[in-house]
């Protein structure tokens, strides 16, 4: 089947009309007749059969409310969907983002053998420029105006231009280059950047202004604050022309018009969505932080997951299985949210990163061809690090009226943690997953744990650039699989545009007649 044929298939594809969907609907009616623990009793091999290992990763999904029959039906749902065709089309460079007429090629950023020579050449060129700049900053060859080496790097961005780099730099701080402090500014709230600037020396600070369009309101406002501060502190009237400002954007001409020299601009492309952009030159701050060799290892880890996703059979394909579990809970058991709980403080920004990845990608109400969905798309993603979460919201997870499937993420070996403490940390993760599944009877209802609360455990042998790359690509492909099966476009985000337009109207348009009475009243109270 060619991609044109596949596109036509997607126009009429409706997962809810398939035999597999009907089968799963029937199975959902009796799923609670047997709790998860009973499945272990019935099948002593359940753990090994419901686990998959791939190099640095091990995933145990045996504590989920599924059976062989349910998994078989879920895999049938994947097999009868256009998943394989759309996956292959994405990797080959066919424009699968149809609403914007764009390719989806974040995977090409980590594939040195990508077959399209012009794209591969452009990627290599920008990657070489990025690593050169990062290395010059790291070793002290990139000097400020007065000849001092750079000691502070401030990334100014928002969304994908902030969440990915910030999350990776924090996760891999063990590998950070010495003597350079990394900072991230995103919120248009003025307090974070003004508080940060009080701590910085303009002579040793560089700002990385990261925006795909170079017009993003929050980024440009924060960038202007940095420009004004630098000018005030140094007396330099055109700060953007100095070595203290870099731009990372797809709109190079706009950056040049704003005053940034062409040789201080790194370019990425419209086929890289913001939430998938950390692998591109948006990762400049990552490259500065951990060095080019570790950045390459991050890419290599993601590439290994790419290869697995492309080649592993569906029943043993990690992203596919995680995606199908999510679909089971979302569409057949009416689960409203899913939690991600990393038992590793350095992965503290991972839940926020996955919120954007999942909800911006698949938070859609119409199909890829504009037809209203008759079934739910993605649930709410949320989370926090363990053990903090245990003392905040685990009461709901154990005894609440709704159950929430959980991804527990643990690191087997952690060189940065004291051995005894790390053992206690992992013991907490294992105990919570066991308690959620097993439950516990009690004499009074308020002390009873109902159990049969599902979870998946993802283990990294160590938290390294390679293993983190695998983990992030795993979730990218999971989200992709769900989008294809739900027949939605995971790569546009029209839902964020209306608020942006109305913000401009509130700020600049004197004609308020087409705004609602509540907004007009609040504007008056706030002095607009």
Per DSSP, the residues of 433-479 read: HHHHHH-B--SSGGG-B-----EEEEEEEE--HHHHHHHHHHHHHHH
Please state, in angstroms and rounded to a whole number, the distance separating the CA atoms of residues 73 and 485.
13
Question: How many helices (DSSP H) and strands (DSSP E) are in the chain?
Answer: 21, 11
Please state, in angstroms and rounded to a whole number, the distance separating the CA atoms of residues 453 and 473.
27
CB 440 within 8 A of CB 449: yes
Strands 57-60 and 455-462: antiparallel
**Catalytic residue flag (residue 316):** no
Entry field: residues in the chain: 528
CB 28 within 8 A of CB 332: yes
Question: Active-site residue among 85, 304, 360, 476?
Answer: 360
CB 495 within 8 A of CB 92: no
Strands 51-54 and 152-156: unpaired
Biggest distance spanned by C-alpha atoms of the chain? 76
Please state, in angstroms and rounded to a whole number, the distance separating the CA atoms of residues 3 and 93.
11
CB 295 within 8 A of CB 286: yes
Question: Active-site residue among 391, 420, 497, 508?
Answer: 391
**Catalytic residue flag (residue 500):** yes
Please state, in angstroms and rounded to a whole number, the distance separating the CA atoms of residues 86 and 7.
8
Residue 300 tokens read as: 């290599």
How big is the CA angle at 357 (ends 215 and 411), to the nearest 5 degrees? 125
How big is the CA angle at 433 (ends 429 and 435), to the nearest 5 degrees? 115
Find, among 351, 375, 354, 350, the residue nearest to 364 by Cα: 375
Find, among 59, 53, 166, 57, the residue nearest to 469 by Cα: 57
Query: Which residue in this structure is represented by tokens 């359940």?
Result: 46
Return the CA Rg of the chain: 24
18 DSSP assignment:
S
CB 78 within 8 A of CB 481: yes
Burial classification of residue 128, based on how many CB atoms lie within 10 Å of its CB (0-12 exposed, 13-18 middle, 19 or more buried): exposed
**Catalytic residue flag (residue 422):** no
Residue 115 tokens read as: 């077959």
Residue 179 tokens read as: 């003597």
Residue 2 tokens read as: 């060619």
Catalytic residues: 360, 391, 500
């Amino acid at each position: 089947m060619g991609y044109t044929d596949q596109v036509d298939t997607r126009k009429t594809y409706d997962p809810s009309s398939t035999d597999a969907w009907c089968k799963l609907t029937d199975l959902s009616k009796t799923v609670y007749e047997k709790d998860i623990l009973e499945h272990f009793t019935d099948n002593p091999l359940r753990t090994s059969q419901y686990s998959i290992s791939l190099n640095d990763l091990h995933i145990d999904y045996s504590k989920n409310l599924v059976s062989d029959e349910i998994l078989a039906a879920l895999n049938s749902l994947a097999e009868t969907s256009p998943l394989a065709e759309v996956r292959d089309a994405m990797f080959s460079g066919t424009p699968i983002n149809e609403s914007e007429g764009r390719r989806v090629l974040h995977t090409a950023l980590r594939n040195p053998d990508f077959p399209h020579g012009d794209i591969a050449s452009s990627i290599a060129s920008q990657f070489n420029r990025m690593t050169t700049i990062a290395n010059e900053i790291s070793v002290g060859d990139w000097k400020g105006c007065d000849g001092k080496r750079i000691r502070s790097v401030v990334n100014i961005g928002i969304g994908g231009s902030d969440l990915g780099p910030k999350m990776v730099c924090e996760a891999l701080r063990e590998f950070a280059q010495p003597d350079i402090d990394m900072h991230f500014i995103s919120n248009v709230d003025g307090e974070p950047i003004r508080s940060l600037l009080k701590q910085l020396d303009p002579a040793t600070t560089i700002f990385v202004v990261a925006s795909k369009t170079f017009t993003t309101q929050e980024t440009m406002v924060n960038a202007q604050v940095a420009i004004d501060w630098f000018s005030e502190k140094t007396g330099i009237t055109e700060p953007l022309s100095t070595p203290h400002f870099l731009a990372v954007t797809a709109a190079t001409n706009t950056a040049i018009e704003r005053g940034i020299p062409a040789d201080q601009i790194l370019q990425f492309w419209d086929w890289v969505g913001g939430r998938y952009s950390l692998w591109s030159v948006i990762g400049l701050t990552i490259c500065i932080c951990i060095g080019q060799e570790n950045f390459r290892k991050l890419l290599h880890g993601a590439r290994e997951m790419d290869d697995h996703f492309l080649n592993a059979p569906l029943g043993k394909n990690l992203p596919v299985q995680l995606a199908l579990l999510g679909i089971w809970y979302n569409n057949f058991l009416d689960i409203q949210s899913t939690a991600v709980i990393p038992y590793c403080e350095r992965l503290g920004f991972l839940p926020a990163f996955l919120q954007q990845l999942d909800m911006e990608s698949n938070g859609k109400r119409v199909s890829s061809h504009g037809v209203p969905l008759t079934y739910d798309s993605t649930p709410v993603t949320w989370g926090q690090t363990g053990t903090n979460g245990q003392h905040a919201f685990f009461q709901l997870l154990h005894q609440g009226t709704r159950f929430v499937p959980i991804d527990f993420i643990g690191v087997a070996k952690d060189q940065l943690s004291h051995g005894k403490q790390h053992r206690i940390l992992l013991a907490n993760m294992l105990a919570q997953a066991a308690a959620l599944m097993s439950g516990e009877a009690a004499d009074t209802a308020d002390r009873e744990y109902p159990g049969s609360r599902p979870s998946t455990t993802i283990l990294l042998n160590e938290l390294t650039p390679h293993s983190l790359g695998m983990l992030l690509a795993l979730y990218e492909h999971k989200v992709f699989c769900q989008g294809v099966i739900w027949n939605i476009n995971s790569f546009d985000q029209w839902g964020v545009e209306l608020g942006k337009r109305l913000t401009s109207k509130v700020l600049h348009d004197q004609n308020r007649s087409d705004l609602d009475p509540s907004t007009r009243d609040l504007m008056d109270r706030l002095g607009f």
